[in-house]
Chains A and B, each alone.
Chain A
Amino acid sequence: MSYVEARPLGARARRRRILRRRFLRRPAAVASLLIVVGAILAAVFAKWVAPYPPEETDFEALLASPSREHLLGTDDLGRDTLSRIIWGARASIQAGFLATVLAMVVAVPIGLIGGYYRGWLDTVIARVTDVLLAFPFLILAVGLAAILGPSLLNATLALGIAAIPPLIRIARGETLALREEDYVRAAVANGANDAVIIGRHILPNMTSTLLVQATLTIPAAIIGEAVLSFLGLGVQPPTPSWGVMLNAAQPYLNDAPSLAVYPGLAIVIVALAFNLLGDGLRDVLDPKTER
């Protein structure tokens, strides 16, 4: 029956074209998309993009300034900084995406169930989420690292767990709003079962909000991974990660401050790109929340 669908088929393709045009009209969003794609490609194809292997040392060229051989100079063990930054993108992108996916996979069903069925279950979910929202994630991460040992995987796990409460809140909020929509009420009146309603009406209409939120969760996870690796709780040396590089730069703030500048700059550029992209997507997909 055609009106069980949220919108008729033809309109969907038209809508996508409108969205794309709206997106392309925003230079900031386009630029950030390019940077994000660039970062992902650099991370995936690091082996071919980076001029040197990240662990190759050169004991004759310690703390070298930028030169033709080493565009961004070398670190305290003579390793090429540019290559390590490119390889470091791997840990950051990995942590960013995996943590977000993990959080989504857990948070969306919970938020959906709470918002849809309401009742005591929803109250419990809402209360617990509220309490956990402000929980300092670092304590959780440190505890996890202490029990499971420090590694990129455990850091990603901690980041994912930390991202769950805010996402539950959003999924729940969206579900609460959507279930009041006319077409949902109509479907209920028509006797459609819960799974169909959720699967066909509610979830698809949440995707744009969820997409925006995911895009905004990734930069937080990237920065979180940097913090954890900086503290020694995430990626372990010699595997490069921007946080690890910043940690190693600390004793050299006096003599070679540039060691601390480049990895941080990489974090800022990638995180900023994701944030701008998320903002741009939000503006495009839901113009009435124009900020």
Chain B
Amino acid sequence: MNRIRTRRSRTALVVVALVATGLLATGAGGSVAADSRTGGTLTIGLAEDPDALDPTLARTFVGRMVFLHMCEKLYDLNARLQIVPQLAAALPTLSGDKKTMTIRIRRGVRFNDGTPLNAAAVKTSLDRHRTLSGSARASEISPITAVQVPNNYTVRLRLNARFSPLLAQLADRAGMIMSPKALDQLGTRFASAPVCVGPFKFTSRTAGDRIVLDKSQTYYARSKVKLNRIVFRIITDTSARAANLRSHDINVLDRIASTDLPAIQRDRSLRVLKATSIGYQGISINIGNKNGLGKPFQNVGTPLASRRALRQAFELSLDRKVINRVVFGGTVLPGCLPVPPASPYYDKTIKCPGRDLNRARSLIRSTGMSTPIHVRLMIGTDQVAARLGQVIQSLARPAGFQVDLAPTEFVTALRRQDQGNYEAFAIGWSGRVDPDGNIYQFVHSKGSLNNLGWGTGRMDLLLDNARKAATTSARKTLYKAAFRVLRSELPLIYLWHPVNRHGVTANVKGVRQYGDGLIRAYFAEYR
């Protein structure tokens, strides 16, 4: 009897211990407690977890959203996607030969650790962007050969060639200036506690969960900042994100999925910020990437690679409107160019073709190839990609194409694209303000991301001149010609421009979204 009683109490003890551990453990899982809503904390639900919060190394789209709130740049965009000065005092001046750019720095600005912003600090950051091992910015500002500091508030950039897109690059991560003191202390670990100039400063980050920013006490325009704190919560599941917005657990939602949109639109307590992206989505066709990125081109021999007529037929078998309706519930903007209609470089005279099965079939017949023509299409592994792939399959079949889908995880897909180990890939580009950022590296024969393995002398000439051209109208003419080449050769079939819809609770005002798709809540406030 005694043994049994001890056993029972022993079991009881174990149970109690487990319960206690359980509760303690969950307590340990609690993160920094959020301030009360009325105290001015804004919670933004992000669709992905940003990578390293280091402007030199960062590569993700969502990372740019976080940077917007804590790391200002030399230049920024305004609502009309024009470039305006931010840490610079004014737009830069260019020398006569356009190979020297002079930038004046704004005065009276302090980093979030109190140190002053001056030309030396700008030089430190720019040099780091140019030369740090593993820098993602180096190729963006590669024409810069030297950064000079003639006086405390002036920076002079020397270029080895004319480079019109430079200003746009300085309006993105390449223009972000980091605190030299923090760089000194942290070096390559800058991302663990980043310090820049910003309306908010970095407080803490839990991987895969949240990033916390607090109001900066040293920001030069403090009076415009109304919130005390911004919390970025990472919620990768789209319906979970939408559910959180509807329950007001988050105030702002990054990119509402088309399947969640109707419920959010019906909700009176929510608003939707809509802006067409400056990027594109489409199908990249491997034409000559047989040996890998950067190696000499060699036609890969697939049907789509070997015959331009087949690429044209493929495009004609697709129906952009149906794709929009069925895959996205009509929420994206069909298109056939690398820049969206809102861009000043867009060519209104180019009309996107509708579906034309007859012409598609006759194009196929003209090549003499027997149907069905096999196309192996690499797509993503998410549900939207699955829908897209299956719709493309359905649309292309009656024309005589047999599309086989290869759902591939993203990183692997990028690797295969670089190696040339693919036939066609449904992929897009988040977009850059300057059209060069949407075109050059993909279709110039020396482009750093040209994994299509395609390039022509004529296209190269057009793009190089567009880089050097001084006026917008000159560049427009050049890009217009480039678009015509793209439309007839179709190395890339552009299908649509994403329309970024961000959700906001109605009790918050001042949250903005420009065409670059980034959430801007730095001057937001509660009503």
Known: A59-B394, A237-B386, A237-B390. 11 other contacts (CB 8 A): A57-B391, A57-B394, A59-B325, A59-B391, A77-B394, A232-B381, A238-B393, A252-B259, A253-B239, A254-B260, A255-B259
CA distance A250 to B387 in the complex (A): 13
Would you give the 0/1 interface string for A69-109, flagging 1 where the beta carbon is closer than 8 Å to chain B?
00000001110000000000000000000000000000000
Would you give the 0/1 interface string for B238-254, flagging 1 where the beta carbon is closer than 8 Å to chain A?
11000000000000000
Chain A, 239-291, CB within 8 A of any chain B CB: 247-248, 250-255
A203 within 8 A of B: no
Contact in complex: A237, B405 (CB < 8 Å): yes
CA distance A268 to B213 in the complex (A): 48
* A60 CB, min distance to chain B CBs, angstroms: 10
Chain B, 372-418, CB within 8 A of any chain A CB: 381, 383, 386-387, 389-391, 393-394, 405, 407
Residues of A within 8 A of B (CB): 55, 57, 59, 62, 76-78, 150, 232, 236-238, 247-248, 250-255
Nearest neighbor of B319 in chain A, beta-carbon distance:
A59
Of B387, B393, B405, the residue contacting A236 (CB under 8 A) is: B405
- By secondary structure, the A interface counts as loop
* B13 CB, min distance to chain A CBs, angstroms: 24
CA distance A123 to B383 in the complex (A): 48
B510 within 8 A of A: no
Of A77, A232, A255, the residue contacting B391 (CB under 8 A) is: A77
Contact in complex: A59, B322 (CB < 8 Å): yes
Residue of B263, B390, B393 with most chain A CB atoms under a 10 A cut-off: B390
CA distance A255 to B260 in the complex (A): 9
Contact in complex: B390, A55 (CB < 8 Å): yes
Query: Can you spell out 20 A-B residue pairs with CB atoms less than 8 angstroms apart?
Result: A55-B390, A55-B393, A55-B394, A57-B391, A57-B394, A59-B325, A59-B326, A76-B326, A77-B390, A77-B391, A78-B326, A237-B386, A238-B390, A248-B386, A248-B387, A250-B239, A251-B238, A251-B239, A254-B260, A255-B262
Contact A238-B383, Cβ < 8 Å, known A77-B326, A77-B394: no
B257 within 8 A of A: yes
Q: Interface extent on B, as a size class?
A: 20 to 34
Contact A76-B387, Cβ < 8 Å, known A251-B257, A252-B259, A253-B239: yes
Nearest neighbor of B258 in chain A, beta-carbon distance:
A251
Nearest neighbor of B390 in chain A, beta-carbon distance:
A238
CA distance A238 to B389 in the complex (A): 9
CA distance A52 to B78 in the complex (A): 53
Nearest neighbor of A78 in chain B, beta-carbon distance:
B326
Closest 7 CB pairs of A and B: A251-B259, A57-B394, A237-B386, A238-B390, A59-B326, A236-B407, A232-B381
CA distance A238 to B257 in the complex (A): 21
Contact in complex: A238, B259 (CB < 8 Å): no
Nearest neighbor of A238 in chain B, beta-carbon distance:
B390
| Complex interface: chain A residues within 8 A of B257 (CB) | 251
Contact in complex: A250, B394 (CB < 8 Å): no
Contact in complex: B325, A248 (CB < 8 Å): no
CA distance A55 to B390 in the complex (A): 8
* B407 CB, min distance to chain A CBs, angstroms: 5
* B403 CB, min distance to chain A CBs, angstroms: 10
| Complex interface: chain B residues within 8 A of A62 (CB) | 326
CA distance A250 to B239 in the complex (A): 8
CA distance A287 to B21 in the complex (A): 45
| Complex interface: chain A residues within 8 A of B326 (CB) | 59, 62, 76-78
| Complex interface: chain A residues within 8 A of B393 (CB) | 55, 238
CA distance A125 to B326 in the complex (A): 55
CA distance A142 to B161 in the complex (A): 50
| Complex interface: chain B residues within 8 A of A253 (CB) | 239
CA distance A55 to B394 in the complex (A): 8
* A151 CB, min distance to chain B CBs, angstroms: 11
Contact in complex: B387, A232 (CB < 8 Å): no
* A62 CB, min distance to chain B CBs, angstroms: 7
Contact A237-B407, Cβ < 8 Å, known A57-B394, A77-B390, A251-B239: yes
Nearest neighbor of B239 in chain A, beta-carbon distance:
A251
Of B239, B263, B381, B405, the residue contacting A238 (CB under 8 A) is: B405
